[in-house]
């Protein structure tokens, strides 16, 4: 292990059953925090940056294969699980993350 951060819980920078990890070209780290139904973003040193609700999942052809809507939520982190109870086929997907008026597209790879 090179580096580890976080602790159990539901707050910013905390995890409940982290299920996946990825990085972007800038070296930022994305963690799929499945127990809290969210994706958290950290810089390369492990400092918490932000989190998103995953709202849409697209295949490489641009076809939307899953979408979730979230109504008004109270204070604190909230998210929506995409494809609950469904196993995605191996491949490359685009995940559109939404946080208020901000949207970001990231690539997700399912290996098996």
Q: What is the pLDDT of residues 60-84, one digit of tens each?
A: 888 877 776 544 444 454 444 555 6
**CA separation for the pair 69, 90 (Å, rounded):** 25
Determine if the pTM surpasses 0.85.
no
β partners of residue 103: 98
Give the tokens for residue 44. 């390369």
pLDDT at residue number 13? 92
Name, in order, each residue with C-beta under 8 angstroms of 3's C-beta and a sequence gap of 6 or more. Answer: 46
pLDDT at residue number 74? 46
pLDDT at residue number 86? 67
Q: What is the pLDDT of residues 15-29, one digit of tens each?
A: 987 877 888 888 888
| 43 — pLDDT class (breaks 50, 70, 90) | very high
pLDDT at residue number 47? 93
């Amino acid at each position: 292990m090179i580096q580890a951060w976080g602790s159990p819980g539901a707050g910013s920078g905390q995890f409940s059953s982290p299920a996946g990890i990825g990085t972007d070209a800038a070296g930022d780290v994305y963690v799929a925090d499945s127990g809290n139904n969210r994706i958290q973003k950290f810089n390369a040193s492990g400092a918490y940056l932000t989190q998103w609700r995953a709202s849409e999942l697209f295949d490489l052809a641009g076809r939307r294969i899953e979408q979730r809507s979230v109504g008004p939520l109270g204070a604190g982190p909230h998210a929506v699980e995409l494809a609950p109870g469904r196993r995605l086929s191996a491949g490359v997907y685009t995940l559109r993350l939404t946080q208020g008026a901000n949207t970001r597209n990231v690539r997700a790879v399912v290996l098996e």
